[in-house]
Chains A and B, each alone.
Chain A
Amino acid sequence: MTSITTQTITFKVFRFNTETDYLPAYKEYQMEVTSEEVVLDILNRIKWEFDGSFSYRRSCRHGICGACAVKVNGKGVLACKERMNDIIELFGNELTIEPVSLKRAVKDMIVDKADFWEKHDAVKPYLVADIDEHPEQESLVTPEQAEALLEADLCIQCGLCHYSCPAIEENDEFFGPAAFAAAYRFNADVRDEGTKERLDVVNQMGAGVWDCVKCFECAEVCPKEVNPIEKITKLHNQVFEYGRAPNNVAVRHAVGFAHSIKKHGLLDEGELVRYSEGNLGVLKHVPVAIQMYKKGKIVLPWNMPKSDKLDEIKKLVKISSTVKF
């Protein structure tokens, strides 16, 4: 940093107060932005220089307390960790600042995060163990065992992944990536004795890990690089490793998928549906299946081809499988 530069930026900012407003409005603020500033500095300047009623959550101002998540041009950011220069480079000189979830907005950038905390609290986000209240020695944990947490303990509960997750948008019950990362953090801890109970929570139909749509948005948006989807995948495996997989459609879908790959080296979509939903359940999908057949998307069961690299795929499946179904 040899010199400080400035640029003129126009901000369109979401303004709303549940007490007085029926609908939100976008107000414009123009200011000179310096190369030293982050998004939080802009929020502060709107409040301190333009309108004291502008409200947002913030505290630590250096990316560790997780309070100040917002969206800039639809991109979820932790306001205090996002350099204005980077944002301007990405989106140009007109920027829209909004809360992380419009439908949960209470006042300006502040959203009602009750759903986030309820889900966080529901996954038993604490070490389950008998605590020695007067220990003379710490538990011994090797550096390798400590690494198994895969930085899940760095999650600061900012909620960016939660409010960027399309599965949550569609499904109110879904725990969401942050809660799953928390569940993984304790399941991966050698000192923890609550893995099975926790798996039974995160393995529920509808709310649990099987409803993840694997879009990777959570990994993309996380300001601490916690990579929640990686933890969700680990939880999928743990469900089998610990023998907690019930015989339900979600689990059968995963198992059927693996069977198909092992057998054909390819996905047999028809068989997957039959395996997941059973001989009767599959009937309701017949109209879709006929459509797909007509478009050449699926083949008749007896015509299912096999990959010409099936031997290699079988080897891959064998060496990469960590769990038995």
Chain B
Amino acid sequence: MGIPIYTYDAVIVGAGLAGTAAARELEKAGKKVAVITKLHPLRSHSGAAQGGINAALSDEDSIELHEFDTVKGADYLADQDVVELMCKEAPETIRWAERMGAAFSRNEDGTIAQRPFGGQSSPRACYAKDRTGLTLLQTIYEQALREGVDFWDEWYAADIIYKDGKVSGVVAFNIRNLEYAIFNARAVMFATGGYARSYKINSNAHANTGDGLSIVARHGLPLEDMEFVQFHPSGLSGNGVLISEAARGEGGRLLNSKGERFMEKYAPNKLELASRDVVSRAIINEIREGRGVGPRKDAVYIDLVHLGKDLIMERLPELRDLAITFLGLDMVKEPILISATAHYSMGGIPMDKDGHVRKNNTEFVEGFYAAGECSCSSVHGANRLGANSVLEALFFGRHVGQSMINDLNEGIELRKATQEDADRTIDEVNVTLNRNGTDTVPKLREELQQSMTDNAGVFRTEETLVQQVEILKELRRRFHENCRIDDKSKIFNTDLQEAIELGHMLDFSLFIVESALARKESRGAHFREDYNTRDDENFLKHTMAYMDKNGDITLDYMDVTLGKHELKERTY
């Protein structure tokens, strides 16, 4: 019996905010659309977004200020035409989600409430208590369900069908029983999420293994600005689980072991509400210089006690709960322990502002689209502002969905899939299942994550990065030659899945490190101790990295689209 081939107008991989928003738009426009997700849609990591979603709604704020804050936050690496588009459409995007049912927190007059966030000139983050992502994900999923979108949940998208500059489908298997299927489509969208899971201390879900990035890269397509990984200032000590920026937005103070409010040294004006890269470096610096706290002295305090129980319970109830669960500390009564945690991927699959995936600096891949954290448009440049990611996912998900509708209406031919299109995937699965050796997935993954944190983390140098390239190549060799899994069964083989995911993590991690090694400057989230200032003359440009057949990386660069917000030194 052959592998079933399902035919759709559009196939979307990933059911977070971006993928589901696109699917809803396509379905509403009468397109036949499938969404493939390795989880249930409601398990997607968009639901973990806590603090808010930005839009210049109030009279004191303006779209231009939102643009400026975003571009400055990005350390001027953002493409300003794309930033303009997103900021302009932000108010409508949020109101659209509200009309669909999102349960935002409200002002007395019934309008959507907003709170301050780091790096912003005005309280701009619309929020639903401290579970903004949850209400948005649920809302978009509910409305997609209402429209009748086909969700293929617990299906693992293993590969794209890419030939002659065109993508014509996805090869996937059912996690329940390892049965394969080909999803043949006129248009394919990747909305597969971010890649911070390659670090030891990270805020990401187990699922955020960046599969989509290396699936694309293995076909020789580029990944953009991969060196820019955001380290969020407040992850819970020990496990990196996120304590939203809302904690600082509402007035949380950072203290070191001497009880000093150390941000006074690093960002005298904005203090705790400087942009994330600035605060994260300050925290790591305090810990490095021996002023850390906690049982491992690897954290600093965030003190929220002065906010009072009522405000904490009203606006930060989930955060309080998290600190009690993981640290046994109640923020109503005492400061809690936090440190920087790998959080967000600024880099990703390069796309233009309508979601068309780039084949190189000048050409595009036909029938292939990206949106959300796996993509790089580039709206966040070298550092993303808090509450801009949920906006990006929701806005671009919808916008790229509409762009796909336009392209489909203008006519994209369906290239018929054949059984052979699944060969690569079946090979990968069989090799992974049957390989013998002495290394295991958890062991290799642990080494990967620990070494990425040590060598390609908040602070980087030529020496650590060169070392990390070697480590990654060796890990990759061990993975391909010597990594065995215990589970040989077909039913929910999560052992197999974790192995495939590790293969992806090893591949895209090399993009991060090689791109970081070549960028001999410090910009946004990428900080080189050996080149500790921004170098606009040589590096005001996007990295475009490609992987060749041997797995080696070659680098190219692409111009940044500048605009009305002129280059300035970045201080907070």
Contacts and interface: CB of A to CB of B under 8 A. Distances in A.
Interface string B283-311: 00000000000110000000000000000
Give the interface size bracket for B toward A. Answer: 35 or more
Contacts of A128: 146
Nearest to B128: A153
Interface in B103-142: 103-112, 128, 131, 134-135, 138-139, 142
B36 to A, nearest CB: 16
A59 B241 CA distance: 12
B42 to A, nearest CB: 6
A141 B242 CA distance: 29
A67 B143 contact: no
A296 to B, nearest CB: 50
Interface in B130-187: 131, 134-135, 138-139, 142-143, 145-146, 176
B548 interface: no
Contacts of A308: none
A18 to B, nearest CB: 6
A125 B489 contact: no
A189 interface: yes
A12 to B, nearest CB: 20
Given A55-B494, A126-B142, A137-B95, A48 B442 contact: yes
Contacts of A156: 42, 47, 134
Interface in A234-263: none
B317 to A, nearest CB: 9
A58 B206 contact: yes
A62 to B, nearest CB: 4
Contacts of B487: 52-53, 55
A126 B491 contact: no
Interface string A28-61: 0000000110100000000111011101111111
A53 B486 contact: yes
Contacts of A64: 47-48, 131, 134, 318
Give the interface size bracket for A toward B. Answer: 35 or more
Contacts of A191: 99, 101
Contacts of A59: 39, 43, 45, 205-207
Given A127-B142, A154-B134, A189-B101, A61 B241 contact: yes
Contacts of A1: 294-295, 327-329, 337
B472 interface: no
A75 interface: no
Contacts of A280: none
Contacts of B442: 47-49, 52
Given A4-B295, A106-B176, A139-B99, A62 B206 contact: no
A139 B96 CA distance: 10
Interface stretch (A142-150, A202-210, A211-219, A313-321): A142-150
Nearest to B237: A1
B206 A63 contact: no
A38 B239 CA distance: 11
Contact of B110 (A67, A125, A140): A140
A18 B294 CA distance: 46
Given A55-B487, A65-B205, A142-B110, 18 more contacts: A36-B238, A38-B326, A49-B442, A52-B440, A55-B495, A59-B43, A60-B45, A63-B322, A64-B47, A65-B44, A81-B325, A107-B492, A138-B98, A143-B105, A146-B105, A153-B135, A154-B131, A157-B40
8 contacts: A52-B440, A55-B487, A62-B241, A67-B40, A125-B142, A135-B96, A138-B98, A146-B104
